[in-house]
Structure 1
Amino acid sequence: MKTQVAIIGAGPSGLLLGQLLHRCGIDNVILERHTPDYVLSRVRAGVLEYGFVDLMREAGVSANMDAEGLDHGGFSLAFQGRRQRVDMRELTGKSVLVYGQTEVTRDLMEAREASGAPIYYEATDVRLNDFLDGDKPSVSFTHQGEQHVLQCDYIAGCDGFHGVSRQSVPQDRIRNFERVYPFGWLGLLTDTPPVEDELIYVHNPRGFALCSMRSHTRSRYYLQCSLAEHVDDWSDDRFWTELTARLPEDVAAKLQTGPSFEKSIAPLRSFVAEPMRFGNLFLVGDAAHIVPPTGAKGLNLASSDVYTLYHALRGACLDGRPDLLDRYSEICLRRIWKAERFSWWMTMLLHTFDDDAFSQRIQQAEQDYYTSTRAGLMTIAENYVGLPYEPVV
């Protein structure tokens, strides 16, 4: 088997990269270790930056997103008994789109199937070969009991934090940066109307809370919780009681409760691997970086990686510009570290820590300053809607 680009992982980043490459005539094969149903079962983010939205349109898979996505021009921060709306549209001229990652993935999977481009689900024993120093890399894998070798020019590692791509890099060739936070997010998904039309981020002495949504009839709520907690410890009644206690009174009075159909606890961490290119292997998305979800940057950072790699591969494969691939890592990392900073800052601003009195006062001063000046609100808004993608030239 031969192709130009082997893509490891059929999450949103791998599927989006494959769709973009296919549309410009660059052959690619996607390998995914799980079943399609498993890929679609992962409930993740739902806030899309305008850059991601534009890239989905360029890929020709925006019809459902444009029809069903909820355009949000702002969101609210609640703390110390007050609320402040961040008017992103007024401050930046831009907005975000609320459209669930499950729906993004489904749209991309359907586009892949319609294109006829090859994708192998339940591909096991995946190994990346000769990518560091040679010009003939390959990927070996097993599918339906048969062993295959996929010869390629380039490998895109889009297989997440625990995937084989980053693990295939020798440890002396990569440097990892990590911060693990001492709490997690307990998330609940329910078919009840959102408490408000926009997201509400809440700082409360009892812990952080977030009111989010997937549609006009489906809500997503989060609570800061101990990492020692278990999902089974949280009945729906306990969740709703605790959420109500953390919300501002006027918001709590409007909250509509109901049975959950998905509940999970996610630990929070910041992680970056440097560099992101190793010979003919390029790490993309969660394979190279993780952010705490507070800033809504995880899927959006993957999108900016895809944008950069797509344009670099176009240059290399179609325009005789392999030098553009040399810029992939540096371009991505500039934007990644800015997003890491914002996600870390939002996490520190809004969560409850077992800190000394001085640190608590500093947190309160940060909350007051950034929400009481136009400059502070502008900083929040321009980071939340997403920093611009850097051209690959």
Structure 2
Amino acid sequence: MTSAPPIHLPTEIVVQIVAYVAANESAQASLFTCCLVSRQWYSCAITSLYENPRIDTGASFKGFTNTICPPIGARKSKWNLGALVRRLDLSTLVHHSSPSLTARLMGRVKDNLEVLIAPRASFASNSLPALSKCSKLQLLDLSLVATPVPFEDLKKSLSNLQGLHTLRLPQSTSITGSDSFSIPWSPKIRRLQFSGHFSAAPMRSFPWPPSLTNLTLKNCDDLSLANLSSLMCSPSLSRTLKRLTISGQNRRLSSESISSILALIPELSFLSIPGDMVDGTFFELLCHIGIPTLKVLEFGYPAVDPAVYFTTEGLLKALEYGLPNLSAVGFAEVFCSDDETLDDDAVDNFLLDRMEKSNSLQPSIGNVQSGVYYV
């Protein structure tokens, strides 16, 4: 008995099949199988296999690095597979790599890398030369990095990355002087997560990225009133910043610190703050100062205590007199579960009534719906 001849599919059809496979969350094993079918299937699937590798175990990391940057003396692929990598997420790795291996890996994937999420323990200063050559990098997440990386050296390595628009600084960042201030930022940074230790005095003249519109403060060692006021007092920041998020994961945060934001950044469209850091004084200041540009106010996860220290009446008064164009209020679900002091239905009804009376408001702001939502 003779076997039937293999069926040849047009390359266009194979490409469509591979695209369908790649859209699946558990696509990596299937894409690898596609590469084994034939040379035609290999050429269609190899890019999808490597552009966003799933590296979530020590074994997968070892297999990936042995292929991308094999050890000395090992057989090397004739293809530059590192150039296919566009997104590299190493966030699940802890002790699976070393600073030298991470630096060598980054050197191999630098050509087309667009997103890098760095590992906690093996990203260090020796990775910066390779990082500076990732000319297509758009998002750099160093928020997990625990090894101290000099801020001046990091800034130098990023200054020529023309496409970088999102940066999350390491939690080990330390800014105690102005030596780094003259080094230019990457010119297109719009989103910045600021973390680490800084001294109040030099931060009064801290040069923020000129295109910055979205700032998150997270894992800062000291966000006391004096430090936060120094950090946010830049005139350029008040002109460009539209979205501000202050995470509950900051030390020495207080209600006084949160209230100071209202006077320092008067033209925000989005503000997210820990819900347990807000009291009646915050809403009294809102009524007095007013932020007509604010569209979304979010009471995020608590810094210390899963309880609210303001009343629904205080919030509604601020909505009426200090926030004339606010369309949405967000609450961390922990504040709405069993707390009878917070009437989120009353807030929702107020906002929806306002929207019905005004033709100028849109039904949604970005990904946030008008009215009350939960985070």
- TM-score normalised to the size of structure 2? 0.22
Q: Which has the larger radius of gyration?
A: 2
Higher strand proportion (structure 1 or 2) = 1
Q: Which has the higher contact order (CA 8 A, sep 6+)?
A: 1
- TM-score normalised to the size of structure 1? 0.22
